[in-house]
Amino acid sequence: MGFWMKQVVEGLLLIDKNEGETSYDVVKKIKSVLNKGNRVKVGHAGTLDPFASGLLIILLGQGTGLSPFVMSEKKVYLATMYLGVETDTLDPTGRVIRTSAVCDLKPDLIEEKARYFIGDIKQSPPMYSAVKYKGTRAYRLARKGIEVDLQMRTVTIDSLQIISVDLPEITMEVKCSSGTYIRSLGADFGRELGPGAHIKHLRRLACGSFDVENAINSNELLAEDALSVLLDRIINLRDAIPGMREIEVDSILADKVRHGYQPALKDLCEDSEGRGYENTYVKLIDNERLLAVAELNKDKLKGRGKIIIKKVFY
């Protein structure tokens, strides 16, 4: 036990959250395991609703600074719509607001309607969501019976595959952009089919290159050996954003960056114009460790010949 207390606990954990617990419940479990005699900062990237299960990415220590980069990744969900019943929360926890008969929908029709939702689409966030309206979380207003008009947003559905049809239930696998609400997608899809629907079951299968199959089930966080399991499964900062390109820097430049220096493109790239790295994020690597995340965006740089350091790690 004494040995690990000397370790710096930082990085990323993959947790398979169970139905019925909140994302913060999982955070509290992990804090309880890791904070025995030591303080470890713990957060998560991308909330899962209590009725949902699946991949929840936990951020530890300096890993909390990676939240915007992890959350921006594509997500994959397995979702089951229940046709003919609409609820105010768009899921099974809400109040039923409308019921309709479900006719014998043909598979070809379901597939045709599903194609309407592939690509860039507009959707409204659910009233029972963490979206803010004039500084207040929408779900807080909804619980008080206050109705507000939440601004529609554009999201991207890369694929929507119908897995099974057992009316009144339809199960689908959805790959989508960050910010997509599967509950809203289910409600819109249900109305397009006619009888309306809510999402009965929801499971997050993947986020970027991370898959729920490689996650620790949240029940394991209560086991006696939970501490050793967690420490063994922490993904280091460098590997926590695997899809991002890397640039190696020497120790002299690394020290300057840690003290606030904003390097020029010529410090990092053989091509002083940064060709090949336009409009992207890159990882700066010092001695095999993550030094910083930097942005190369020519529109923002305005010809200054510098990159923008977004986050430095020590």
pLDDT digit string (tens) for 172-192?
999 999 999 999 999 999 999
3 — pLDDT class (breaks 50, 70, 90): very low
In which band, very low, low, confident or very high, does the pLDDT at 5 lie, cut at 50, 70 and 90? Answer: very low
Tokens of 174: 């959805």
49-78 burial by CB neighbour count: b if 16+ within 10 A, else e? bbbbbbbbbbbbbbbbbbbebbbbbbbbbb
The alpha carbon dihedral of 120, 126, 131, 135 has a sign of positive
Q: Which residues are catalytic?
A: 49
Angstrom distance (rounded) from CA 5 to CA 261: 32
pLDDT tens digit string along 12-49?
999 999 999 999 999 999 999 998 756 889 999 989 99
Residue 297, pLDDT above cutoff 90: no
Q: What is the model's pLDDT at position 2? A: 47
Q: How far is CA 178 from CA 74, 125, 230, 301, in A?
A: 6, 13, 27, 26
On the question of pLDDT at 4 being above 80, the answer is no
Convert the pLDDT of each residue in 205-228 to its tens digit: 999 999 999 999 999 999 999 999
Alpha-carbon distance 94 to 89, whole Å?
A: 5
Helix axis angle for 23-34 and 226-233, nearest 10°, is: 100
Q: What are phi and psi of 7, to 5 degrees?
A: -80, 150
Instruction: Specify the pLDDT at position 266.
Output: 78
Any idea what the Cα angle at residue 261 is, between residues 259 and 267, rounded to 5°? 130
For the ranges 16-25, 57-66, 133-142, 260-269, the lowest mean pLDDT is seen at 133-142
User: What pLDDT, on a 0 to 100 scale, did the predictor assign at position 126?
Assistant: 75
Max Cα separation, the chain?
A: 70
Cα–Cα distance measured from residue 254 to residue 312, given in angstroms and rounded to the nearest whole number = 10
Query: What is the model's pLDDT at position 311?
Result: 95
Q: Which residues sit opposite 43 in a β-bridge? A: 59
Q: What is the pLDDT of residues 224-254, one digit of tens each?
A: 999 999 999 999 999 999 989 899 999 999 9
In whole angstroms, give the CA distance from residue 149 to residue 38. 45
More confident residue, 58 or 308: 58
Q: Is the pLDDT of residue 280 over 90?
A: no
C-alpha R_g of the chain: 22
Q: How high is the pLDDT of residue 35?
A: 83
Structure tokens at 92: 């099974």
DSSP string, 127-156: SSSS-EETTEEHHHHHHTT----PPPEEEE
Q: With the C-alpha atoms ordered 42, 43, 49, 52, is the resulting torsion angle positive or negative?
A: negative
Q: Record the pTM.
A: 0.89
Of the candidates 213, 188, 186, the one whose C-alpha atom is nearest the C-alpha of residue 200 is 186
Please determine, for residue 276, whether its predicted confidence score (pLDDT) is greater than 70: no
Q: What is the pLDDT of residue 18?
A: 97
With contact defined as beta carbons under 8 Å apart, do 301 and 259 qualify?
no
What confidence score (pLDDT) does residue 306 get?
63
**42: closest CA among 32, 31, 26?**
31
The residue-averaged pLDDT of 66-82 equals 96
